[in-house]
Chain A
Amino acid sequence: GQSLEQPSEVTAVEGAIVQINCTYQTSGFYGLSWYQQHDGGAPTFLSYNALDGLEETGRFSSFLSRSDSYGYLLLQELQMKDSASYFCAVSPDYKLSFGAGTTVTVRA
């Protein structure tokens, strides 16, 4: 099976940088994904790491270390609209398994 751990809540001010860590245990591994979900909305795909290293997509970056079974999502230049839940997810195959989610609250 799969298990993922990520912090439950993070609060930061506008313009700040937030890092959301994710550690995982899985019987098989294709890659680590990150999804964003605004309250009452659908999860939306943010990024995917199959190999070690950093992937940058605008203000968001994602990192993976396969040897440490660890990854993080970095949110830079935080904006109010970034207030949402962020989920890491592992893909042992097509059965994408999600962590419990981190609620990010951005304060003015």
Chain B
Amino acid sequence: DAGVIQSPRHEVTEMGQEVTLRCKPISGHDYLFWYRQTMMRGLELLIYFNNNVPIDDSGMPEDRFSAKMPNASFSTLKIQPSEPRDSAVYFCASSKGQVYGYTFGSGTRLTVV
């Protein structure tokens, strides 16, 4: 299995631009999670899906952030407009119906200048 695949690995964008991060979970996993990691705040859960349905988006910082999961093999996290404080590493993770053993992707390092 190729694991959780995220793209792009690195993204540098200017403030005000739209950013879209992509994730392909492990086939057969029914839970998908978006996390953000910064030095100040550590690993924060932004949103998670079960069977493509958003279950909890209470961690999404504000309306500039949105996430979708149109099918079982693809999810996006969009930031519009982006701000410098959004600079972080964004991880996608998936799980097969368990509350442990999440598999994380390699992350997208986002820099907003």
Q: Is the interface of A mostly helix, strand, loop or mixed?
A: loop
Given contacts A42-B91, A43-B43, A43-B91, contact A94 B105 (CB under 8 A): no
Q: Is the interface of B mostly helix, strand, loop or mixed?
A: strand
Q: Which residues of A contact B103 (CB under 8 A)?
A: 45
A41, A42, A87, A96: the one contacting B99 at CB < 8 Å is A96
**Chain B interface residue number, banded:** 20 to 34
Q: Say whether B104 contacts A87, CB under 8 Å.
A: no
* Residue of A with least CB distance to B41: A100
Q: Say whether B100 contacts A42, CB under 8 Å.
A: no
Chain B interface (Cβ within 8 Å of chain A)? 31, 33, 42-43, 45, 48, 50, 55-56, 91, 93, 95, 99-107
Chain A interface (Cβ within 8 Å of chain B)? 30-31, 33, 41-45, 48, 50, 87, 91, 93-101
